[in-house]
Structure 1
């Protein structure tokens, strides 16, 4: 059988391609092990090859895989994997002043009954030992609210509509042991016209006098809420049920609203 001799030029070309591919893999591995912000702000400016890697979908998809950011719905593929990755690592509490460390700033007071809202130190230790303050209600209904503008927080309409990430809310509440009280919460996903798309509003929770005065956590995850969500309105409050002057009502702290592009953990 006649053997065809290899063309030296073809061999050189194949070898050059192999070397380029190997170098590309090495560079990609280096960039995968650097902080993501450094890759975007510094590394992609170094040369054309690094910019191509830093701008590629496969690079950010691989970072998501390695760091455990999994899609909740495999049919909802991010249109921009880099944006998806950064919104995952920038997951944060969208409630401002959740623990009363800035008095009542950032909150809209809807009802201010009795001796009105107050900020006190904790009577009993919170599960999170960094929490040192709480909002306290009085003998008339006290209710306050925050409105979260998702676009201003970095979540574009197209991102919210296409991916529909989980929206996780939580709120900590505690009664006083010596006085009965009640607790209420309502969280609404709103569209551009401020009309509710989906609402979480559990029944009012009542505590009898001489309870154990421990902290309780209210949690909920909004899923599959459809397109159109542009705002989140978080409202909570309560009062004491024995109408004692002072601040014997429900205690509230560490409220939280998080957008979770990847599977909630």
Structure 2
């Protein structure tokens, strides 16, 4: 019997957790010989076009095992560069292309917000309430001052004593293997939208992982975006602890404190293009990361 099984040596399997693919069907020697004898010899350009239309997991786990020529094609940068182009996965700086286009493709494809319920659509599900002072956390509807992302309809709002909530993100459970985090150290992008009221001062505070920042806003009401990117953070990163909150500064009963919504934590390949908006503001330089 001729047995062909997939090998766990692809980028997808070494560095990401995902759905396991079944082994390639077992063929007898006669069936295998007949298969290869009847298989037409295709120009590499045709093979490349076929691979560009096959799901990427099957490309690296199945197609790569067909023959040496296919293996070399699957491992080549041009194939994955073209896949990135068709999927519109573009590096932020086109003059500095990724060192590994296959890794760049899978990292970009896997991109998603690791925070659960970032915009209060599911009440407080997914959040751990750390401080619940004053009249406690509340949820309200976005009104006359919408965010750049018009899909965001709700926000969390703090009261007159300290209100904080957090999420602890397990990166390995989210599918990022330790080998990926330690060897490639992909960028971890942090984003949080906040806004004060027009009639009351408030304090905004955010602490993400080993990063601290406090910021006060007075009588402006517009939404601002706080962003940060962790780079070159060294081996050992396994969790992201995201905590934010604040309070108003006049101690008014009710919910006149800082408003927060549409938060995100994403793991991205180095140099990945980020979407921006005219309303985005640049935060002050953050304090150095602690080891």
CA distance in 1, matches of 2:66, 2:149: 47
Query: How do 1:130-145 residues align onto structure 2 when only pairs under 5 Å count?
Result: 130-145=151-166
**Which residue, out of 262, 267, 273, partners 1:254?**
262
Moved over 6 A (4+): none
CA distance in 2, matches of 1:178, 1:107: 28
In the alignment, what sits opposite 1:57?
75
In the alignment, what sits opposite 2:3?
none
In the alignment, what sits opposite 1:118?
138
**Matched-pair contact (CA < 8 Å) for 2:166–2:244:** yes
**Matched-pair contact (CA < 8 Å) for 1:39–1:54:** no
**Matched-pair contact (CA < 8 Å) for 2:84–2:105:** no
Offset at residue 68 of structure 1 (A): 5.0
Structure 2 length normalisation: TM-score? 0.69
Offset at residue 205 of structure 1 (A): 1.6
Offset at residue 224 of structure 1 (A): 0.8
**Which residue, out of 167, 185, 191, partners 1:146?**
167
Q: Secondary structure of the residue that 1:95 maps to in structure 2?
A: coil
CA distance in 2, matches of 1:262, 1:30: 29
Offset at residue 187 of structure 1 (A): 0.5
Structure 1 pair 51–138 and aligned structure 2 pair: CA distance change class (3 A): farther
Question: Are 2:232 and 1:224 equivalent residues in the alignment?
Answer: yes
Which structure is larger by alpha-carbon Rg, 1 or 2? Answer: 1
Question: Are 2:148 and 1:127 equivalent residues in the alignment?
Answer: yes
Offset at residue 26 of structure 1 (A): 1.5
In the alignment, what sits opposite 2:217?
207
Offset at residue 64 of structure 1 (A): 5.8
Count of residues paired in the alignment: 228
Structure 1 pair 84–147 and aligned structure 2 pair: CA distance change class (3 A): same
Query: How do 1:176-215 residues align onto structure 2 when only pairs under 5 Å count?
Result: 176-188=197-209, 199-202=210-213, 204-208=214-218, 211-215=219-223
**Matched-pair contact (CA < 8 Å) for 1:44–1:50:** no
Unpaired runs of 5+ residues, structure 1, are: 1-18, 189-198
Q: What's the C-alpha RMSD, in Å, of the aligned pairs?
A: 3.1
Offset at residue 70 of structure 1 (A): 5.0
Unpaired runs of 5+ residues, structure 2, are: 1-39, 274-291
Question: Are 2:247 and 1:239 equivalent residues in the alignment?
Answer: yes
Moved more, 116-125 or 236-245: 116-125
**Which residue, out of 26, 34, 54, partners 2:46?**
26
In the alignment, what sits opposite 2:8?
none
Q: Secondary structure of the residue that 1:201 maps to in structure 2?
A: strand
